Copies of this chain bind each other. A is one copy, B any other.
Amino acid sequence: MLIVLSGPSGVGKGTVRKAIFAQDNNKFDYSVSMTTRQMRPGEVNGKDYYFVTKEEFEKEIAEGGMLEYAQYVDNYYGTPLKYVNEMLDEGKDVFLEIEVKGAMQVREKVPDGLFIFLTPPDLMELRQRLVNRGTDDLDVIDMRMKKAVDEIEMMQNYDYAVVNDEVEAAAEKIKTIIRAERWRVKRFLPDYKKQLGDVLK
């Protein structure tokens, strides 16, 4: 099973992902992304990212080696297909934490993946805060809210939506979803039928 956690930028995907993986009892592996950006102090190649050159990354794209990718501020970020397939072939579940655009690329290639949308808490409160602050015109505030709502419209392309009101709670909800999803008939039936096939031999 391919598990994709995504959501609007700034919603806290990385923090929630780290909270999920801070616990040891996960039955899935995190797929390390590939990037062309500079390694930062303390980062480890193959753990935080696979750090490659622009040429290497573009070669991967050309050869169809990326499950999804995007460019931000002159750097590429993406998910190498190779590692994901290796893990899936080993029967492991793979966990991706990626941007909304990348998630839609994955949805096209792996429609049976499990897609979870992390969504910001309480837009009403955000709006009120912006109004109270008084630094933006109401027009500007409404445009901002419209943008937030547009991003949240993306939610319709996902299976589940979790509000990131509290990091540990959101992480726990995501783990509950992943557990439950193992018993979805569409995931459960193929193996079960194989067993039944053996019975009928």
Contact = CB atoms under 8 A, between A and B. Distances in A.
Interface of A: 117, 119, 123-124, 127, 142, 145-146, 149, 152, 155-156, 158-162, 173, 176-177, 179-181, 183-185, 188-189, 192, 195-196, 198-200
6 contacts: A149-B200, A156-B189, A159-B185, A160-B183, A160-B185, A177-B180
A145 B200 contact: yes
How many protomers of this protein does the assembly include? Answer: 2
Given A180-B181, A185-B156, A198 B124 contact: yes
A184 B156 CA distance: 10
A141 to B, nearest CB: 10
Nearest to A199: B123
A184 B177 CA distance: 9
B161 A183 contact: yes
B199 A183 contact: no
A145 B184 CA distance: 24
A123 B196 contact: yes
A16 to B, nearest CB: 14
Contact of A161 (B124, B179, B189): B189
B155 A189 contact: yes
A187 B119 CA distance: 15
A160 B189 contact: no
For the complex of A and B, 7 pairs with smallest distance between CB atoms: A180-B180, A177-B180, A160-B183, A123-B199, A161-B188, A176-B180, A161-B185
A184 B160 CA distance: 4
Contacts of A177: 180, 183
B149 A199 contact: yes
